[in-house]
Structure 1
Amino acid sequence: MARKPLTKPRKVASQERSRSTVDALVEATARILVKDGFDRASTNRIAEVAGVSVGSLYQYFPGKEALVVAVIERHQQEIMQTVRCELAEVLAQPVEKAVRKLVAVAVKAHRVDPKLHRVLAEQIPRVGKLEKVESFNRENYTLFRTYLQSHQDELRVNDLELASFICVTSIEALTHNAMLHNPKMLSDDSMETLVEEVACLVTGYLKGEQNGVQSAGSRRHRPD
């Protein structure tokens, strides 16, 4: 059985000099992942690019897997900061405007260092570090569920738990797959079209009617 990689840091940097060393190592790891990929990254190469000794690297990290996890966590923090700053305003907006904003923020989040995002999407399962991603998804789900509850009179869906799951999963899947497989969709020229189409899809589901078809959720508990 293959040994499970060590993904936790050996120690936390507490002083400014040590924090600078750790920051340099994490940044060097990110650059190497984008340029050369996971397999060609090594602790020797990371230390060289960071401008520190391999011994200094091993003071803080047991191996490259732990450094990849540190890159993942830093990237997730950058994305979550982007999302939190922009989503606070949606609670008071009508459904069409709020959904469009949610989709636009999802697209913007996937445009945060997209080359690194693509590499990390491949490596997250490999290093077995999904907690930050799951926490991020739960936060988005909770926010969307809260929004739907406060605007239920505008909706034609009744099961808000299911609706939140469908909407958040759809938005994430569409924007994530655009980033992975068709990054041109996230370019300045195409981004607005993607946002409009995904927002139309989600709004149509929430409103319950699109092209004359009612959703199953909108028909539940409705008087004839």
Structure 2
Amino acid sequence: MAKKPVTKPRKIAVQERSRATVGSLIEATARILVKEGFDKASTNRVAEVAGVSIGSLYQYFPSKEALVAAVIERHQQQIMQMVRSELAQVRAQPLDQAIRRFVAVAVAAHRLDPQLHRVLAEQIPRVGRLEKLETFSRENFSLFRAYLETARDELAVDDLELASFVCVTTIEALTHNAVLHHGKVLTGDRMDALIDEGARLVTGYLKG
């Protein structure tokens, strides 16, 4: 049976200089993943690109999988910061506006460094670091579920847990595939059309 790769860092950087070193290693890993691919992202290559000694790298990361896991975590934190900020006002909006905003934010989130997003989408199963992805999905679900609670009077659905699952999964699948596999639909007016159509699909389901 294949040994599960170690994806947790050896230690957390506390001092400013240590945080800078870790940041350089994570950034170097991201650049290599985009330009050269997962197989080329050896610890030696990462240390070289980051300008950090291999010994310093191993103080914080036991493997390339741990480095990739750190890139995944950073990318998802950046996405969630944007999502939380963008959706802060949604609770006060009527359903049609709010759902369009949810779809628009999902598109924007997936377009945040799309090349890296594509690589990470392909590499997460290989790295085996799925718990962060699950946490990310749960937070999206919670944000959507909280909005539906405020919009009950506009809804034709009764089971908000199920409705949230259906809607979040639909929005995620639509935007994920558009960004990763159908980039042409995200150019010019077609992106607005995609957001409009996605919002119409979800709103139609919720209103019945």
Please report the TM-score for the alignment, with normalisation by the length of structure 2.
0.97
CA deviation string 1:17-67 (max 9, x = no partner): 111111100000000000011011111111000001111111111010000
- Which residue pairs with 1:59 in the alignment? 59
Counterparts of 2:18 and 2:185, CA distance in 1: 40
Q: What is the distance in 2 between the residues matched to 1:2 and 1:110?
A: 32
Larger RCO of the pair (alpha carbons < 8 Å, separation 6+) = 2
Unaligned 5+ residue runs, structure 2?
none
Structure 1 vs Structure 2: percent identity of aligned residues? 73
Matches within 5 A, 1:69-218: 69-208=69-208
Shift of 1:190: 2.5
Aligned to 1:48: 48
Tell me which stretches of 4 or more aligned residues in structure 1 moved more than 6 Å: none
2:35 matched residue in structure 1: 35
Decide whether the 8 Å contact of 1:111 with 1:186 is kept in 2: no
Which amino acid in structure 2 is aligned with residue 82 of structure 1? Answer: M
Q: Distance in 2 between matches of 1:188 and 1:34?
A: 25
In 2, the alpha carbon distance for the partners of 1:143 and 1:25 equals: 32
State the alpha-carbon separation in 2 of the partners of residues 168 and 34 from structure 1. 28
Kept in 2: contact 1:44–1:54 (CA 8 A): yes
1:219 is matched with none
Gaps of 5+ in 1: 209-224
Partners in 2 of 1:46 and 1:66 — Cα distance?
A: 12
Secondary structure in 1 aligned to 2:88?
helix
- Displacement after TM superposition at 1:185 (Å): 2.2
Q: TM-score, normalised by structure 1?
A: 0.90
* Cα drift, residue 189 of structure 1: 4.1
Q: For 2:137 and 2:31, how far apart are their aligned partners in 1?
A: 26
